[in-house]
Amino acid sequence: MEAHAFRGDETLVIRPGALLAVAKFLKETPELDFNVLMDLTAVDYLFFAGGRVQKEFRFEVVYHFYSLKHNHRLRLKVPVDEKDPEVDTLNDLWPSANWYEREVWDMFGIQFKGHPNLKRILMYEEFQGHALRKDYPFNKRQPLIGPQN
């Protein structure tokens, strides 16, 4: 969809449908050879800049790739809609995606299609909601859970 660089960070924004194809290309093209998925996270753009900036999609899943051979980095961003937030998993290409995707699911409620074990990682299973969403108040408390006795 778009490519830009801010402060030297090369960034690529792509459609969710193209993710698997682009990821495969990034990993397998010898001139790119992004063999490390360094980081995977998401950003919630609800009320971004006090609501002055209206983004087309609420979430962005952000991938940071690194190539050990060529020593270059790339940021890949995938916009995700608020209704039915879902992107493909990269677990098959980079096993490191497994835990990162679980964390994004835990914190943002974004589904990863084809993930083998998509369950919460930092919070407990009974936790209600997704803590890093902007409509989740930072001071909200939830009752402690545990065995009744």
Q: Please say which residue, 17 or 99, places its beta carbon nearer to another protein.
A: 99
Does residue 123 belong to the site contacting another protein (CB under 8 A)? yes
* SS3 annotation, the chain: CEEEEECCEEEEECCHHHHHHHHHHHHHCCCCCCCEEEEEEEEECCCHHHHCCCCCCCEEEEEEEEECCCCEEEEEEEEECCCCCEEECCCCCCCCHHHHHHHHHHHHCCEEECCCCCCCCCCCCCCCCCCCCCCCCCCCCCCCCCCCC
Site for another protein in 34-53 (CB under 8 A): 35-39, 41, 43-44, 48-50, 53
Provide the token pair at 88: 């493909």
Q: What is the closest distance, in whole angstroms, from the C-beta atom of residue 149 to another protein in the complex?
A: 19
Among 98, 105, 110, 115, binds another protein (CB under 8 A): 98
Closest alpha carbon to 60 in 74, 78, 39, 72: 78
Does residue 54 belong to the site contacting another protein (CB under 8 A)? no
Where does this chain touch another protein (CB under 8 A) — which range of 12-20, 68-76, 82-90, 141-149?
68-76
Site for another protein in 5-24 (CB under 8 A): 6-7, 9, 11
Does residue 32 belong to the site contacting another protein (CB under 8 A)? no
Among 13, 22, 32, 121, binds another protein (CB under 8 A): 121
Q: What is the closest distance, in whole angstroms, from the C-beta atom of residue 133 to another protein in the complex?
A: 10
Among 82, 99, 126, 142, binds another protein (CB under 8 A): 99
